[in-house]
Structures are given as C-alpha cells and as structure tokens.
Amino acid sequence: MATTKVSIKWLHNLIKINGWNIHTEFTAEAIESFWTFTENCKIYCSLFCIGMAYRTNLITLCFRQYSTSAKRSPKELRDKSIRDRFLRVDHAGEVGADRIYAGQMAVLGKTNVANVIQHMWDQEKEHKKKFDELLPRYRTRPTVLLPIWNVAGFVLGAGTALLGPKMAMACTVAVETVITDHYNDQIRELMNNPEVNGELLEIISKFRDEEMEHHDTAILHEAEKAPLYQAVSQIVKIGCKGAIWLSNKI
Ligand SMILES: [Fe+2]
Ligand SMILES: [Fe+2]
C-alpha cells in the first residue's frame, strides 16, 4: 500500500507538471486498480514462468551444473550402479553370515567347537561393520530384505547346529563356498577399473581370503562327515544363491 501511495503522489506531480486536466479522485482510483492489476499480473506471470520452466525441464537444466550425479558421464553412472549393487549384496551377505554364526554359538557355545566358531563370528562382525560404514559413505541403500536375512541367518545357523557340530560345519562350508565364489566374481568385475575401485578391491579381497579360511576351518572340523552332507550342502548353496540374487535386485 505504501508503494501505491508513492505512485499516486508521483502521478499527481506528473499531472501538475504537464497541466493535464484529469480528475484527481478518478486518477487515484484508477492508479489503485491499475496497481492491483499489475500486482496480480506479477503473480500470474511468475506462476506461468514456473509452469513453463517445469514443462520444458528448464529447472533441471538450471540445476544441472550444481548436481553431482547429473555431471557424471554414462560410464561413471554405470560404475556407480555396479558399486551400489555390490555393496548392497555384500552388506546383506555379511548380515546373514553374522546371524548364522550367532545361531551356531547360541546352540554350540559351550562345546569344544565354540572357540573356532567364535573366531569366525568375530571376523564376520568386522566384515559387517565395514559394510555398515561403506554403505552411507558410497550413498548406497541396504537391501529391503535385511530383516528377513537377519531371521533366516539365525534360523539356518541354529538349525544346523542343533543337528550337531559337524552339520554346523557343513553349513559353514556351503555358505563360505558360495560367498567366496561371489566375492571372486566381484573382484573380477572391479578389476576392469582398478584405479576407481581400489578401496573396494582391497576390502573384498581381504574378506574373500577370510571366507576361504572359514571354509577350510570347517572342512578341518569334519564338515564332510556330517550326515547327508551333499544334500544339505546343495540345499544351503541354493538358498545362499537365491539370497544373493534377491539382494542384488532389491
Ligand atoms: Fe564375511
Ligand atoms: Fe565367513
């Protein structure tokens, strides 16, 4: 309103200077109406511009220079997508492994294999912790199936342990075989771009070696002497591969 008054005064002065014969009250009303009209026009024009900018993706184009993802080349985007997938599935795998050993320890925690299982469990905790840290750093989301792998891992570990230490070791051999192969596949793919994937290559290679060590430890603890070893091993392997496939997807 203050602006309106200034405008009216300015127009009155203009009328006086030029000697125009215009009724003052009429002019004030006219100015008032005109001012309201222009105010409305400003709002409508702004809305129209925003609408047009949205329609023509102008906003996206304007902000593109400030967006890190939009600046990435197709190759960089592809690399990021691969890393996201790897981190998500590895994190899911380590959560599952942590729960498997937790289940085994819940049943066999007071037997002569407790120390061996505890050592492997401690390493799995470290693996999980590392992926917990990497996920936010690489801006990767975890799999939505995490709650399921939490329960399924514990049930698998405790269930096989209830059938005896050899069956628990048979489960370990099957799981670690699939995980080692899975990590080897990832290492091969990451080696396509070792400069960019240096950190992941180092971490996954170290974990792969430790998973292989778990496999060998379980073999040393007579996993192959478990009843129905081949059948149980195949079932666990199929389950693990299914979990990897699902965690890759969602
Ligand atoms: Fe692990
Ligand atoms: Fe392991």
Q: Whole-model pTM?
A: 0.69
The model's confidence at residue 211, banded by pLDDT at 50, 70 and 90, is: very high
Task: Report in angstroms the alpha-carbon separations of 137 from 123, 132, 133, 141.
Answer: 21, 9, 7, 10
Angle at which helices 165-190 and 198-220 pack, to 10 degrees?
160
Q: Which of 131, 234, 123 is nearest to 175 (CA)?
A: 234
Whether 247 and 143 have beta carbons less than 8 Å apart is answered as: yes
Question: What pLDDT does residue 155 have?
Answer: 95
DSSP assignments along 43-62, one per residue: HHHHHHHHHHHHHTTHHHHH
- Indicate whether 125 pLDDT > 70: yes
Residue 100, both tokens: 């498997």
Question: What pLDDT does residue 196 have?
Answer: 86
Average pLDDT, the chain: 83
- Indicate whether 216 pLDDT > 70: yes
The model's confidence at residue 123, banded by pLDDT at 50, 70 and 90, is: very high
Task: Tell me, in angstroms, the distance from the centre of ligand 1 to residue 80's CA.
Answer: 23
Task: Tell me, in angstroms, the distance from the centre of ligand 1 to residue 74's CA.
Answer: 32
Q: Which of 85, 92, 187, 180 is nearest to 132 (CA)?
A: 92
- Kindly list the domain boundaries of the chain, sorted by start residue: 2-64, 72-249
Dihedral angle over CA of 178, 183, 186, 191, nearest 10: -140
Task: Tell me, in angstroms, the distance from the centre of ligand 2 to residue 111's CA.
Answer: 20
Task: Tell me, in angstroms, the distance from the centre of ligand 1 to residue 228's CA.
Answer: 25
Q: Which of 96, 250, 108, 119 is nearest to 176 (CA)?
A: 96
Q: How far is the C-alpha of 45 from the C-alpha of 67, rounded, in Å?
A: 28
- Percent of all residues in the chain with a pLDDT value above 90, rounded to a whole number: 54
Residues with CB under 5 A from ligand 1 (ion): 94, 97, 124, 127
Task: Report in angstroms the alpha-carbon separations of 139 from 80, 135, 146, 147, 204.
Answer: 10, 6, 17, 20, 18
Lowest-confidence region among 56-70, 175-189, 219-233: 56-70
Question: What pLDDT does residue 29 have?
Answer: 66
Task: Tell me, in angstroms, the distance from the centre of ligand 1 to residue 20's CA.
Answer: 91
Task: Tell me, in angstroms, the distance from the centre of ligand 2 to residue 48's CA.
Answer: 60
Residues 125-151 have a mean pLDDT of 92
pLDDT digits (tens, 9 = 90+) for 5-48: 655 566 566 556 656 555 555 566 666 766 676 676 576 656 76
Question: Which ligand is nearest to the Cα of residue 211, counting in written order?
Answer: 2
Q: Letter for the amino acid at 62?
A: C
Check residues 142 and 57 and name the one with the higher pLDDT. 142
Task: Tell me, in angstroms, the distance from the centre of ligand 2 to residue 113's CA.
Answer: 16
Question: Which ligand is nearest to the Cα of residue 172, counting in written order?
Answer: 2
Task: Tell me, in angstroms, the distance from the centre of ligand 1 to residue 235's CA.
Answer: 20
CATH number, span 72-249? 1.20.1260
Question: What pLDDT does residue 75 have?
Answer: 77
Task: Tell me, in angstroms, the distance from the centre of ligand 1 to residue 121's CA.
Answer: 9
Lowest-confidence region among 10-19, 59-68, 198-207: 59-68
Task: Tell me, in angstroms, the distance from the centre of ligand 1 to residue 146's CA.
Answer: 15
Q: Letter for the amino acid at 148?
A: I
pLDDT digits (tens, 9 = 90+) for 76-101: 788 888 899 999 999 999 999 999 99
